[in-house]
Structure 1
Amino acid sequence: MKTSIATVSISGDLPEKLDAIAKAGFSGVEIFENDFLAFDANPRDVGRMVRDCGLEITLFQPFRDFEGMPEPHRSRAFDRAERKFDVMQELGTDLVLVCSNVSPIALGGLDRAADDFRDLGERAKKRGLRVGYEALAWGRHINDHRDAWEIVRRADHTNVGLILDSFHTLARKIDVNSIRSIPKEKIFIVQLADAPLIDMDLLYWSRHYRNMPGEGDLPVVDFMQAVAATGYDGYLSLEIFNDQFRGGSPHSIALDGHRSLIYLGDQIQRRAPEGTIGLPKMPDRIHVDGVAFVEFSASEEEAEKLSGHLHILGFQVAGTHKTKLVTLYRQGEINLVINTEHEGFAHSSYLVHGTSAYAIGLEVDDAKATAERARALIAEPFEQTVGPGELTMPAIRGVGGGIIYFVDQKSDLKNIWEIEFNMIAGEEPRDGVGLRRVDHIAQTMKYDEMLTWILFYTSIFKVRKTAMVDIVDPAGIVRSQVVENTNGRFRLTLNGAENRTTLAGHFIAENFGSGVQHLAFETNDIFATASALHKNGFTPLQISPNYYDDLEARFGLDIGLSDRLRSANILYDRDESGEYFQLYSPSYGEGFFFEIVQRNGYRGYGASNSIFRIAAQKRHMRPKGMPRV
């Protein structure tokens, strides 16, 4: 599979862009004219610089307002084209993109446009160049790839072909199956972009909100499947206009782009005939059966405090590692690990982030296959020295730098606790409070990193993403989106902070990076759990009494239920599927906290309660300037 990306898709000057594109694994690059014009080097030197990076210039773009112009504008358009051809020959590329005319003086007519392209094709042929025509979704006369193809067909010139762009086709909801009848040799390049579904002006939508395939809501897979049906085997190129990407890390965005194309190619290869895409085979997206464990890094002193919190939550020590300073706590299906080693990745993580949930273990169908798929999608493998009697657990680095381990039931990994730990015989959670399993893990990151996290998880695991919702913090808005599997055994809430004054933003700033901000545990009876917690000395997050007064009116709650919620500081929500109960701990350190939930068929995450929860948490945070405790 040959992959390319337009320089306009990422930030930086031209050398920075080329370096990021090459390191991400692309084989080609589209040179966007403004990137070339803003760089102080002649086209021959730029071409050499591209080739020194191991890249091919797949396209020079764009050439605007060409076809259907009245004289003297038509003659000027051909003169401009000759100048573009001069630059292309020095750059060392043979293909130019001509986008459909948007000029108010452009004349309509398919035959008129075809005549112009036939003449332009003849000029290009003399120089060994090719011309690709693209229908802009907002073109004055041509805004549909079917009309653009008809012009190319009527031009009937070997050096004139079609350029297909998924955004322009999908934004206008044009039937993608119309692509299937286009001869593959007349498709000169395919440009790909996704976008969130937003009802706005097409030009503004395109120029500011495009994103990588798989990050938005457009049916890019259906588009690409139709392209694959033609037998097209040329470059798949990304052309992304996005305000966040222009201000982000060029290396991160380029890596996302290449990952998105690999994921897209994998989906098409599973639908299309063998060999159409030419992508090496990889395991299919992986089903996650649940969270096997969550591991914290801590110092001995802070581990003692964290252990105290866990005991109050009903967790008991289930075992200690045979050779390392690692302790296992257990309740129901939940395994929590505290690592106080003085070396290794856990210790390094502690030195940077303080006490944190730095690693997650996922139970999957096949741990080895999961790691293999993740590596194929450019995830960074994680390895560290394995001691005597220890198992090698497949693992990768997550987007935020944490670790994701994989365990399964088909290898020795199913017995990892018994193999590596001295388990306490007959261990029973005597003071358990009814916590059964991990309901969801909440990870917090900067808002402009959210698309990266979503693409990472959805490309590797068999999960779906929910619609983005706004979490109202008294200091601003936090964007929240969920990735989850269909049976609810694996749920991640991803919370993107736009400023550091929100609770989420404070967590990122004070912990020096993204990470797990809270763990939510499931119970079958939250009132019984709250009672047991109270006996253990648990102090719940104190919710404003005003919340409960409004709750009664909003849902028409029975006064008895309302009183029980109020007395236990339990929040409540309801959707068309059922009820939801939430109980929170105060924040520990710089914003980490625990949540206990009960789902009675409810499918959401209590977003409407977030403002009340966050306000309460901020009241409990340490005053600014006070030392950590």
Structure 2
Amino acid sequence: MHRSIATVSLSGTLPQKLEAIAAAGFDGFELFEHDFIQFNGSAATLGTIARDLGLSVDLYQPFRDFEAMPELQFRRSLERAERKFDLMQAMGAPLVLCCSNTSPLAMDDPARAAAQLHALAERAAQRGLRVGFEALAWGRHTSRYGQAWDIVRRADHPSLGLILDSFHTLSLKDDPAGIADIPGEKIFFLQMADAPLMAMDVLQWARHHRSFPGQGDFDVVTFLEKTLRAGYTGPLSLEIFNDVFRETPNRRTAVDAMRSLLNLESQVRERLDHALPAEVALFSPPPLPDLSGISFIEFAVDEAAAVALGTLLQQLGFRRVGRHRSKAVVLYRQGDVHLIVNAQPDSFARERFDAHGASVCALGLRTDAPEAAAERAVAMRSQPHHSPVGPGEARVPATVAPGGNLVHFVASALGRDGLYAADFVLDDDGPGAADAGLQAIDHVALGLDIDQLDTWVLFSRAVLGLEPGESLELADPFGLIRSRGVANAERSVRLVLNVSLSQRTRTARTLRKSGGGAVHHIALRCDDIFASVAQLRANGAAFVPISGNYYDDLATRIDLDGGLIERMRESGVLFDRSPAGDYLHIYTESFENGLFFEVVQRVDGYDAYGAINAPARMASQAQS
């Protein structure tokens, strides 16, 4: 399809926006009027810049408060439109967006609205231009696409058509099914936008909180499906008003935008593969990876940090089971948890250490088709990564995740040792304290800059096939933390994405140390948390102390056996309950850069992350 984006969706000056749009691979753009008003150049100059970048000016917008007006205001608006038509012809824009009226002077008179739009379309046609009418969700009398289509149908002019916007329809919970019954040739333009579900005024919601498809909670896939079923063959465009995007580097935003459209197209293609007209070619990437677990986590360290981290891992019950054959890299194991400590000079890990200190630099995810997973990542606009491979060593395809860390795709067929046997000298009798019963990586929590959250949600969905859960806000003593989990259907891969809404929280301070976008804790799963904690303490592991008041309050909130509460108090274990099951967990004290571990036990079908207890942990860390 012809892919487009509104200039209002990006930060920067108009020329900078167009350069970012072109670099991301878009075919054209919607020109938001304020961007042109602030542009230091003529309409003809803008047209030349666009053509030089290989972009078409697909739409000029918005033209406001036109239809269903008293005669005097209507005549003035026709003259106003002529000035806009002058600009459109000079820059080469074929279509103007006329949005439904919000003026208090507007009349609830569809016949008058149709007649006036007919007159506008007639003037546009004399210049070879077209008019698209869009229902604003907050329009005074026309707020739904069905009302707008009724007016367009009444006007009955070949140069007047409908413009559809997913936000305006889905924010009102309007049913998009009827779109499929509109003649495709009368839909002149399609704008896509997602958004988180929020209880707020729709105008404020629209102007500050829209997001790219796949970053929010709207059913944008069905919306596009119904539009294509109508026979629409025009541009697929993005119009996003978002405060964070207005601050984010526009090249990154433009890449996210293109990734969102490609992912959206691929999802709709699965529904309509045999029902598409020949001129509609939807994106067809390799399939989403079928992930089966986290194979390994790799840490970037120097020699001193390698010793300190190795000591901590042994206190956690990990045994050093391998040394790399040619590099300063050590493998630790407990249960099905594999942790790689990489202190190799002149490596990607050392670059990450030099930039961010001791930190996680890579995740390994198990999948049956690692090459296809890496190919999908590239198709979805992620950068590939090729690590140097020595003679006989395994090559593991990888992609660069948002923020710069790596995600490796590990073949499930390799089994427990298959990945490591080629690269490491394995020895299960290496040094380590007693096994603490830690069996698997339950989840990995990342601390992100606020402008990375939507990027990570989209990356998780489009590249990794992980779906987001609900968004929560957690109370740190110095501000709020927004947290959202993403996971695959089997829950064998879980990530938790955290951003700080304040610059004073522990998360924000950790981000400043680590450069942003860092793993801040790793949760390890066990079957008997009390036995595991007892062994970990015997090994020398230290845990975040929890106030006794927490346990006194716990007894008032949840009906629990008094003996269990006392056992949790003695061990420092926290507790959460959902209708599906229980969650017991405890946090270790922090290592360098604020990194810490969490030990968890899931009981029955508990499917969350104990977020209710995060404030107790953060308060304790602050007091420590």
Name the TM-score class by shorter chain.
over 0.9
The SS at the match of 2:57 is: strand
Which runs of structure 2 are paired with 1:246-395 in the superposition (5 Å)? Answer: 246-274=246-274, 275=276, 277-395=280-398
Q: What is the rounded CA distance, in whole Å, between the counterparts of 1:524 and 1:556 in structure 2?
A: 22
CA–CA separation in structure 2 for the residues paired with 1:526 and 1:459: 35
**1:538–1:428 distance in 2 versus 1, CA, 3 Å:** closer
CA-to-aligned-CA distance 1:560-598 (integer Å, 9 cap, x gap):
212211111111111111221111110112211011001
Native 8 Å contact 2:265 2:283 kept in 1? no
Partner of 1:88: 88
User: Which whole-Å CA distance do the structure 2 matches of 1:115 and 1:597 have between them?
Assistant: 67
Equivalent-residue separation in structure 1 for 2:416 and 2:25 (angstroms):
33
Is 1:152–1:161's contact at 8 Å kept on the other side of the alignment?
yes
Residue 419 of structure 2 corresponds to 416
Match of 1:234 in 2: 234
- The CA deviation at 1:406 is 0.4
Q: 1:484 aligns with which of 483, 487, 500?
A: 487
CA RMSD for the aligned pairs?
1.7
Q: Please give the alpha-carbon distance, in whole angstroms, between the structure 1 residues aligned to 2:532 and 2:580.
A: 23
SS in 2 for 1:404: strand
CA contact (8 A) 2:477 2:622 kept: no
**Structure 2 residue aligned with 1:176:** 176
Higher mean C-alpha displacement, 38-47 vs 517-526: 38-47
Partner of 1:55: 55
Kindly indicate whether residue 519 of structure 2 is the aligned counterpart of residue 516 of structure 1.
yes
CA distance in 2, matches of 1:565, 1:229: 57
Distance 2:28 2:17 in 1: 12
Question: 1:618 — aligned with what?
Answer: 622
Partner of 1:119 in structure 2?
119
Question: 1:611 is matched by which residue type in structure 2?
Answer: P
Correspondences of 1:372-521 after superposition (within 5 Å): 372-410=375-413, 415-424=418-427, 431-521=434-524
Contact between 2:330 and 2:340, CA under 8 Å: does it hold in 1? Answer: yes
In structure 2, C-alpha distance between the alignment counterparts of 1:35 and 1:349, rounded to whole Å: 38
Counterpart of 1:587? 590
Q: What residue number does 1:625 align with?
A: none
- After alignment, is 50-59 or 416-425 more displaced? 416-425
2:569 paired residue number: 566
What per-residue deviation string (whole Å, max 9, x for no partner) do you get for residues 334-374 of structure 1?
00000110112111111001111110000012101111111
8 Å CA contact 2:319–2:428 kept in 1: the answer is no
Displacement of 1:226 after TM fit?
A: 0.1
Q: Which moved more, 1:346-355 or 1:118-127?
A: 118-127
Whether the aligned pair in 2 keeps the contact of 1:320 and 1:422 (CA below 8 Å) is yes
* Aligned residues of 1:330 and 1:429 also touching (Cα < 8 A): no
Contact 1:391 1:413 in 2 (8 A): no
1:281 CA drift (Å) = 2.0
- Equivalents in 2 of 1:144, 1:471: separation in Å? 36
- Measured against aligned partners, the alpha-carbon deviations of 1:517-537 in whole angstroms (never above 9, x if no partner) come to 110000000111111112212
Q: Which moved more, 1:229-238 or 1:90-99?
A: 229-238
Structure 1 residue 409 displacement after superposition: 2.8
TM-score (norm 2): 0.97
Is the 1:506–1:590 contact (alpha carbons within 8 Å) kept by the matching residues of 2? Answer: no
Instruction: State the partner residue of 1:106.
Output: 106
Which amino acid counterpart does residue 168 of structure 1 have in structure 2? Answer: H
Aligned to 1:466, what secondary structure does the other structure show?
strand
Shift of 1:556: 3.7
Paired residues of 1:148 and 1:162 also in contact (CA < 8 A)? yes
Once the 2 structures are TM-superposed, how far is the Cα of residue 430 of structure 1 from its aligned partner? 7.1
Q: Give the corresponding residue for 1:97.
A: 97
> Which moved further from structure 2: 3-12 or 547-556?
547-556
Q: 1:294-334, CA deviations, whole angstroms, 9 ceiling, x for partnerless residues?
A: 00011111100100001110000111111111111000000
Equivalent AA in structure 2 for residue 216 of structure 1: G
Using the TM superposition, give the Cα deviation of residue 110 of structure 1 relative to its aligned residue in structure 2, in angstroms. Answer: 2.4
Q: Distance in 1 between the 2:472 and 2:344 partners?
A: 39
The one-letter code matched in structure 1 to 2:453 is M
Distance 1:173 1:23, change over 3 A: same
- Residue 429 of structure 1 deviates from its aligned partner by 7.5
Amino acid at match of 2:437: G
Q: Specify the alignment match of 2:136 in structure 1.
A: 136
2:210 maps to 210
Using the TM superposition, give the Cα deviation of residue 87 of structure 1 relative to its aligned residue in structure 2, in angstroms.
0.6
Could you list the per-position Cα deviations for residues 415-450 of structure 1 after superposition, in whole angstroms to 9, with x for gaps in the alignment? 221111111167797721000000000011012321
- Bigger Cα displacement from structure 2, 610-619 vs 3-12: 610-619
Mapped to 2, the partners of 1:58 and 1:170 lie a distance apart of 24
Question: TM (normalized to structure 1)?
Answer: 0.96
Question: Cα gap change, 1:422/1:510 in structure 2, threshold over 3 Å: closer, same or farther?
Answer: same
Partners in 1 of 2:409 and 2:202 — Cα distance? 43
Identity of aligned residues (%): 44
Structure 1: tracts of 5 or more residues without a match? 621-629
Which secondary structure does the structure 1 equivalent of 2:445 belong to?
Answer: strand
Quote the residue 1:609 is aligned against: 613
- Higher mean alpha-carbon deviation, 393-402 vs 540-549, is at 540-549
Once the 2 structures are TM-superposed, how far is the Cα of residue 183 of structure 1 from its aligned partner? Answer: 1.5
1:74 is matched with 74
CA distance in 2, matches of 1:108, 1:326: 73
Whether the 8 Å CA contact 2:59–2:94 is kept in 1: the answer is yes
- Structure 2 residue 532 is matched with structure 1 residue 536: no
The alignment of Structure 1 onto Structure 2 pairs a total of residues equal to 620
Instruction: Return closer, same or farther for 1:425/1:529 CA change in 2, 3 Å cut-off.
Output: closer
Runs of 4+ more than 4 Å apart = 410-414, 425-430
- Aligned equivalents of 1:549, 1:140: Cα separation in 2: 54
- C-alpha contact (below 8 Å) 1:366/1:410 kept by paired residues: no
**Any idea what the Cα deviations from partners look like across 1:360-390, whole Å, max 9, x if unmatched?**
0000121011111111111111113222112
Distance (whole Å) between structure 2 residues aligned to residue 535 and residue 450 of structure 1: 39
How far apart, CA to CA, are the structure 2 residues paired with 1:517 and 1:95?
A: 49
After superposing the two structures, state which structure 1 stretch, 421-430 or 88-97, moved more. Answer: 421-430
**Contact map agreement 1:331 1:429 (CA 8 A) in 2:** no
Q: Is the 8 A contact 1:132 1:188 kept in 2?
A: yes
AA matched with 2:147: D
Task: State the alpha-carbon separation in 2 of the partners of residues 287 and 440 from structure 1.
Answer: 17
Counterpart position of 1:627: none
- Deviation of the 1:123 alpha carbon: 1.3
* Other structure's SS at 2:304 match: helix
- Is the aligned partner of 1:43 residue 2:36? no
Deviates more, 1:421-430 or 1:170-179: 421-430
Instruction: Give the aligned residue type for 1:376.
Output: A
Q: Render the CA deviation track for 1:494-546: whole Å, top value 9, x for unaligned.
A: 00112332111111001122211110000000111111112212222211122
AA in 2 matched with 1:543: I
Q: Is the 8 A contact 2:130 2:159 kept in 1?
A: yes
CA distance in 1, matches of 2:82, 2:6: 22
Question: What secondary structure does 1:17 align onto?
Answer: helix
Q: Which residue of 2 aligns with 1:64?
A: 64
